[in-house]
Amino acid sequence: MAKFDTLITNARYYTASETAECDIAIRDGKIAGLGHDLGDADRVIDASGMIVLPGGIEGHCHIEQKSSTGIVCADDFYTATRSAVFGGTTTVIPFAAQHRGHSLREAVEEYHAAAAPKAVIDYGFHLIVSDPTPQVLGQELPALIEDGMTSFKVYMTYDALKLNDGQMLDVLTCARAHDALVMVHAENHDMIKWLAEKLLDKGATQPKFHGIAHSRIAESEATHRAIRLAELANVPMLIVHVSEKAAAKEIRRAQDEGLAIFAETCPQYLFLTIEDLDRQGLEGAKFCCSPPPRDTSAQEAMWQGLRDGTFEVFSSDHAPFRFDETGKLSAGPNPTFKQIANGVPGIEMRLPLLFSEGVRKGRIDIHRFVALTATNVARLYGLHPRKGTIAVGADADLAIWDPDLTKTVAWDDLHDDVGYTPYEGKEVTGWPITVLSRGRVVVEDGELKAERGSGAFLRRDASHAVKRTSDPVLEMDPARNFGASILPGRPAE
């Protein structure tokens, strides 16, 4: 009997902090050895000329989810996880969304039923809390956190989802009591609503006006307010899908004050601009998401945040809606910008885009790439050290990349079920060609090797960001310096 199940030979691998050249031995789904002359294996994969990275962890995506307006995502748990793994991602954490008037526990049960028979890679759930009733905050949410769903998202905008400041404080206090991480969609709802009404009154209905209604100021104001609510409640917070400079500055200022404020940005804020919303006819609808893409100066600010550590994670916010009556055009063939489903696909392109434009072009180094796409995500969401790194005892979630392989992006070559990609025609260098999930080869030679339902649900521990502190009600200034970033240190500026 062979000593190992699989041996990856001649591997040059990278983690968030290390580079090594050796063989990687895998047994029973785990990394069992790192070194030379480790022994024989049932299967040998020669990684000569390639690089080996931890499988990516997608910490922000929407899969088989019904929006607050009743539109269902184009991707189910099979097509979304298939697409993710072809892009080098081996773990996804989508949202189990509560809608108002419904039980949070029932929502989770529905998502378990949807994911278990379809997912081809491992998955967990964040929660979306839109109706923080005493029942939810007192019973359902604490029980679900105990069940391993240790993070949840709240919204400051959208009629059917937004919480007011008092509700936000109630939710933050619950998170603090039960060691959960709160993710926040930070946009000022009343600003957006007011601007949208004024635009529509003037007949400004085209997709490009979505970008104007979702003003930069609406994002930066809500970001500031969310941070101060977290400071008052004395709790860590993750601001998601940051798109613009002033919001990033608010986050950096809070971090410099010692607050445990974390942030993410996404591909759409690096590679798209508001000009994409102004394409001919309704083509701009394909690029409508919230917050919207901004301009080239905002893109550079997002790159700076990735370099200097303002952003701890890089996520796709994959929110896939087809460009037809089931998705973007559900309100009819000529919708106003307010009627267009918000969201863009990107789960498969997240890693190749960042590798090509970040690592290959020298904007970030490869260790920062691993931190942003795997290690920091695992730490923030309670999966480290099982996931997100290459180490003995970790799950054998690995992506073997050809760093020199160049492709031109075309949706026909992708594996989601959306029908288009906003990155069509972009040239990208560096692609994962072989992917392993818990030691199983799941992508090889351009083919999916994993069966439906072979992914496993992940019960997650508390975030590494969570740190119990004194009761905020009893402290004059409770949050000052209560916890600077616990993730790998900021890169040198």
Within 10 A of 477 (CB to CB), how many other CB atoms are there? Answer: 10
Q: At 334, is the pLDDT very low, low, confident or very high (cuts 50, 70, 90)?
A: very high
The answer to whether the pTM exceeds 0.85 is: yes
Q: What is the pLDDT of residue 67?
A: 77
Q: What is the pLDDT of residue 467?
A: 57
Cα separation of 201 and 475, whole Å?
A: 48
Please determine, for residue 224, whether its predicted confidence score (pLDDT) is greater than 70: yes
Single out the residue of 453, 433, 439 nearest to residue 394, CA to CA: 439
Please determine, for residue 208, whether its predicted confidence score (pLDDT) is greater than 50: yes
Average pLDDT over residues 368-385: 98
23 - beta bridge partners? 35
Residue with tokens 């904007």: 363
Please determine, for residue 484, whether its predicted confidence score (pLDDT) is greater than 60: no
**Whole-number Cα distances in Å, 361 to 325, 355, 356, 366:** 39, 9, 7, 11
Q: Which amino acid is at 103?
A: S
Q: What does the domain layout of the chain look like in residue ranges?
A: 55-375
Q: What is the pLDDT of residue 466?
A: 85
Q: What is the pLDDT of residue 276?
A: 98
Q: Residue 244 phi/psi, 5° resolution? A: -140, 165
Give the H/E segment covering residue 368.
Answer: helix 366-370
Instruction: Kindly state the percentage of the chain with pLDDT values over 90.
Output: 91
* DSSP 8-state symbol, 214: S
Fold classification of 55-375 (topology level): TIM Barrel (3.20.20)
Give the H/E segment covering residue 372.
Answer: none
Beta-carbon contacts of 56 under 8 Å, excluding residues fewer than 6 positions away, are 84, 87, 88, 89, 90, 91, 350, 351, 373, 374, 399
Q: What is the DSSP string of 105-126?
A: HHHHHHHHHHHTTT-SSEE--E
Q: Sign of the C-alpha dihedral, residues 142, 143, 146, 149?
A: negative
Average pLDDT over residues 114-125: 98
Q: What is the pLDDT of residue 414?
A: 98
Please determine, for residue 480, whether its predicted confidence score (pLDDT) is greater than 60: no
Q: What is the pLDDT of residue 486?
A: 40
Q: What is the pLDDT of residue 476?
A: 33
Q: What is the pLDDT of residues 227-253, one digit of tens each?
A: 999 999 999 999 999 999 999 999 999
Q: What is the pLDDT of residues 149-195, one digit of tens each?
A: 999 999 999 999 999 999 999 999 999 999 999 999 999 999 999 99
Q: At 470, is the pLDDT very low, low, confident or very high (cuts 50, 70, 90)?
A: very low
Q: What is the pLDDT of residues 406-443, one digit of tens each?
A: 999 999 999 999 999 999 999 999 999 999 999 999 99
Q: What is the pLDDT of residue 71?
A: 87
Q: What is the pLDDT of residue 479?
A: 38
Q: What is the pLDDT of residues 69-114, one digit of tens each?
A: 778 999 999 999 999 999 999 999 999 999 888 899 999 999 999 9
Q: At 473, is the pLDDT very low, low, confident or very high (cuts 50, 70, 90)?
A: very low
* DSSP 8-state symbol, 390: -
Q: What is the pLDDT of residue 491?
A: 57
Check if the beta carbon of residue 274 is closer than 8 Å to that of residue 293.
yes
Single out the residue of 199, 160, 200, 207 nearest to residue 323, CA to CA: 207
Q: At 295, is the pLDDT very low, low, confident or very high (cuts 50, 70, 90)?
A: very high
Cα separation of 479 and 233, whole Å?
A: 8
Mean pLDDT of the chain: 94
Question: Six-digit token pair at 22?
Answer: 């050796």
Within 10 A of 201 (CB to CB), how many other CB atoms are there? Answer: 8
Q: What is the pLDDT of residues 3-32, one digit of tens each?
A: 999 999 999 999 999 999 999 999 999 999
Question: Six-digit token pair at 78?
Answer: 């099979």
Q: At 469, is the pLDDT very low, low, confident or very high (cuts 50, 70, 90)?
A: very low
